[in-house]
């Protein structure tokens, strides 16, 4: 071979690589691919040694170079999955090792079948090929192929780009130089069918092929889709909007925050990523947020999101901390971002890049300046370093590699303790749980886009088999799997106010899930009912990384909690609910499907001692267009409810629709005793 390249797709995190006792590579980033040319060093028998250093000790050494302490300890210095340092739903387990494949790639292999003469090197080879959308204007879609090619020498070559089902082929002449190079080929793809989100149509995907004309057997393919995605942020009477418009239609984003599905990333099979996306679609979701404290997920996850029409809010891997600003760190992050943006930009499912999770809010609202006793000069330096990374470096990478896709420097835009969080941008509302506010606070704390909110529950009792030696919330082995400092106390506090605290552990687990369902139902109803003022509801959290007591809807084994079914109801394209206000019971219907729908809405109540005798309150026939909401569809005055026993009455709302078959949607309203 002309070239032998040793490629490490993932080293976690600080590693020195030796080949035959020669240092060939020093790695310091879990999120980057590392490669080195090794042909000159290889022998018939070879020794490859990868020597890792402990991440925390290395980070501590790097932190010692600063005159001040950055928030959240040493993890700010390490380009490593942040959740492994411990979170309020994750243990502290700092993994170390080779976490992705390693390969030795030969290029320019000498074979007798080479086109030029026996024994000559293959003239050129394809390394990678990706197609992504550049811009769209009605029926004229602009695309770009990114082709990486290795060449044995300086020569001319022809690239042939084609797509099955389309007669037009793109021929592109290129002058190659010795070694590897990237070739960008812009082209037009007329009359492309749009990639639509779940519930809005077919997520059309196209498979493109690239062939080197000099060697017809060297062909690579790339799958992508075409859609218009806009982040709507404009001033209005409330403050500033925040939401998405896909293919010219406004969207209510329905979904959740995804955390890493295991504390050990290397042991997650493709089937788990498939299940996470398939379960989201089954629950009526159209968006998943890849949270910034984990790792960039493998292509298979985004492939499934593309296939199922699930939008992805993609964080860069920064969460709840500030960053060092030295040139070495920034250059490391720049290369990380370039690699990940280049890899992921072909996926139509990604509709937003976000710089970090809660770092801006932490700096302004969490008291770090006082806690770490920063001088004015220290504070100015830390904030300047933050802005250089999230407001300059990352936008510049995106402008060069993925122009046009929306970018948000930090989520949320405003912290939940400030009034602006309900008026402008996205919001992480933690007044319920962290603030110990009642569930009913969700009704009045509805912002423009609710990108985080949640409440804890226990998984099913079966989830603890082989893990906890004693099933009790006071047992040490079980409390080890509750990482929130006041988790059980907070759950029990709400149980005392809403359901009562069961003595039996099995009952406690079950009722904790009932309580989670009840609280989250109030939140999701409020968010959905405030459309279009509120344009999204992403609850915290979708899944777990280990067996734990957490905010998840799916436990570590991907078993559904009771809350899952409540989310599926609240996230249906046709949403109906009845809620109580000062004036009485009011029924709201929101529809964001594809075609007009005719409905019959019924409201009645059932006495729990006479369940076979529902008492009708009202019935109404309506017709709704897509993206429409109807409030006070049926209204039941408060004065008619005053003499009712709230502990024995359940109000039921039914929406009967006729698409291609009859579908029944139900919502139940009752007060907890």
SS3 content of the chain, % helix, strand, coil (to 5): 25, 35, 40
The per-residue DSSP string of 50-85 comes to EEEE-HHHHHHHHHTTSSS--TTGGGGG-BS-GGGE
Residue in 252, 196, 286 with CA at minimum distance from that of residue 628: 252
Contacts of 452 (CB under 8 A, 6+ apart): 257, 411, 412, 427, 428, 429, 430, 538, 539, 540
Contact 344, 298 (CB under 8 A): no
In contact, 508 and 478? CB cutoff 8 Å:
no
**Structure tokens that stand for 40 in this block:** 């000159």
What six digits make up the tokens of 137? 């204007």
Which has the closest alpha carbon to 122: 100, 93, 162, 152? 152
- 146-161: buried (b, 16+ CB within 10 Å) or exposed (e) per residue? bbbbbbbeeeebebeb
Residue 109 CB neighbours (<10 A): 12
- Pair 641, 552: CB distance under 8 Å: no
Residue written as token pair 């291609």:
660
What is the distance between the alpha carbons of residues 84 and 407, in angstroms, rounded to a whole number? 26
C-alpha pair distances (Å), 362 with each of 299, 309, 366, 410, 415:
31, 33, 5, 11, 8
For residue 412, whether the previous peptide bond is cis, meaning omega lies within 30 degrees of 0, is yes
Dist CA 73 CA 323 (whole Å): 11
Beta-sheet pairing, 449-452 with 179-190: unpaired
Closest CA to 621 of 657, 596, 660, 652: 657
C-beta neighbour count of 392 within 10 angstroms: 12
Q: Is the Cβ–Cβ distance between 342 and 146 less than 8 Å?
A: yes
Q: What are the structure tokens assigned to 306, written together? A: 């593309």
Catalytic residue of the set 336, 358, 361, 566? 358
CA angle 519, 522, 527 (to 5 degrees): 130
Q: Measured between alpha carbons, how far is 551 from 453 in angstroms, rounded to an integer?
A: 9
The answer to whether 358 is a known catalytic residue is yes
Task: Give the catalytic positions in this structure.
Answer: 358
């Amino acid at each position: 071979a002309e070239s032998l390249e040793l490629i490490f797709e993932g080293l976690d995190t600080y590693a020195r690589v030796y080949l035959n006792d020669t240092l060939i590579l020093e790695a310091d980033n879990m999120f980057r691919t590392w490669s080195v040319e090794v042909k000159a060093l290889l022998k018939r028998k070879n020794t490859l040694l990868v020597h890792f250093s402990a991440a925390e000790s290395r980070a501590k050494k790097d932190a010692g170079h600063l005159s001040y302490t950055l928030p959240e300890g040493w993890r700010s210095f390490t380009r490593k999955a942040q959740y492994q340092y411990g979170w309020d739903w994750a243990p502290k387990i700092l993994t170390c090792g080779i976490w992705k494949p390693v390969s030795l790639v030969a290029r320019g292999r000498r074979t007798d079948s080479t086109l030029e003469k026996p024994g000559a090197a293959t003239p050129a080879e394809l390394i990678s090929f990706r197609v992504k959308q550049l811009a769209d204007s009605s029926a004229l879609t602009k695309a770009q192929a990114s082709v990486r090619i290795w060449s044995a020498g300086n020569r001319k070559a022809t690239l042939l780009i084609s797509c099955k089902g389309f007669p037009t082929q793109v021929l592109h002449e290129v002058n190659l130089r010795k070694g590897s190079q990237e070739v960008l080929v812009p082209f037009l793809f007329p009359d492309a069918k749009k990639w639509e989100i779940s519930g809005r149509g077919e997520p059309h995907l196209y498979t493109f092929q690239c062939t080197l004309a000099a060697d017809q057997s060297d062909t690579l393919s790339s799958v992508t889709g075409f859609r218009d995605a806009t982040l709507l942020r404009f001033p209005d009477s409330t403050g500033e909007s925040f939401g998405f418009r896909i293919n010219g239609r406004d969207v209510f984003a329905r979904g959740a925050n995804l955390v890493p599905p295991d504390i050990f990333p290397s042991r997650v099979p493709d089937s788990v990523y498939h299940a996470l996306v398939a379960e989201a679609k089954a629950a009526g979701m159209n968006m998943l947020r890849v949270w910034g404290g984990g790792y960039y997920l493998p292509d298979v996850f985004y492939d499934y999101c593309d296939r199922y029409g699930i939008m992805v809010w993609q964080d860069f891997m920064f969460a709840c901390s500030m960053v060092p600003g030295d040139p070495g760190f920034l250059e490391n992050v720049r290369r990380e971002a370039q690699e990940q943006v280049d890899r992921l930009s072909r996926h139509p499912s990604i509709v937003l890049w976000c710089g970090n999770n809660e770092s801006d809010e932490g700096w302004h609202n969490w008291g770090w300046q006082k806690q770490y006793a920063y001088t004015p000069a220290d504070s100015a330096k830390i904030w300047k370093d933050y802005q250089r990374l999230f407001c300059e470096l990352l936008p510049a990478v995106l402008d060069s590699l993925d122009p046009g896709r929306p970018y948000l420097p930090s989520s949320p835009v405003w912290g939940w303790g400030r009034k602006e969080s309900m008026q402008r941008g996205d919001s992480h509302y933690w007044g319920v749980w962290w603030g110990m506010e009642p569930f009913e606070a969700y009704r009045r704390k509805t912002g423009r886009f609710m990108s985080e909110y949640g409440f804890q529950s226990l998984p099913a009792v079966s989830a603890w088999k082989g893990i906890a030696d004693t099933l009790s919330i006071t047992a040490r082995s079980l409390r080890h799997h509750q990482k929130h400092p006041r988790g059980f106390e907070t759950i029990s506090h709400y149980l005392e106010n809403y359901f009562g605290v069961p003595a039996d552990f099995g009952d406690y687990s079950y009722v904790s899930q009932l309580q989670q369902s009840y609280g989250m139902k109030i939140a999701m109803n409020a968010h959905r009912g405030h459309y279009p003022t509120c344009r999204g509801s992403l609850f915290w959290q979708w899944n777990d990384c280990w067996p734990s007591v957490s905010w998840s809807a799916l436990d570590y084994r991907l078993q559904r909690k009771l809350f899952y079914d409540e989310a599926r109801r609240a996230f249906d394209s046709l949403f109906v609910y009845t809620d109580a206000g000062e004036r009485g019971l009011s029924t709201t219907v929101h529809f964001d499907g594809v075609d007009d729908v005719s409905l019959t809405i019924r409201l009645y109540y059932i006495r729990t001692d006479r369940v076979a005798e529902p008492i009708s309150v009202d019935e109404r026939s309506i017709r709704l267009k897509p993206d429409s909401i109807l409030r006070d569809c049926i209204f039941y005055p408060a004065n008619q409810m005053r003499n009712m026993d709230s502990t024995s009455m359940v109000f039921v709302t039914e929406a009967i629709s006729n698409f291609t078959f009859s579908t029944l949607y139900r919502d139940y309203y009752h007060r907890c005793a």
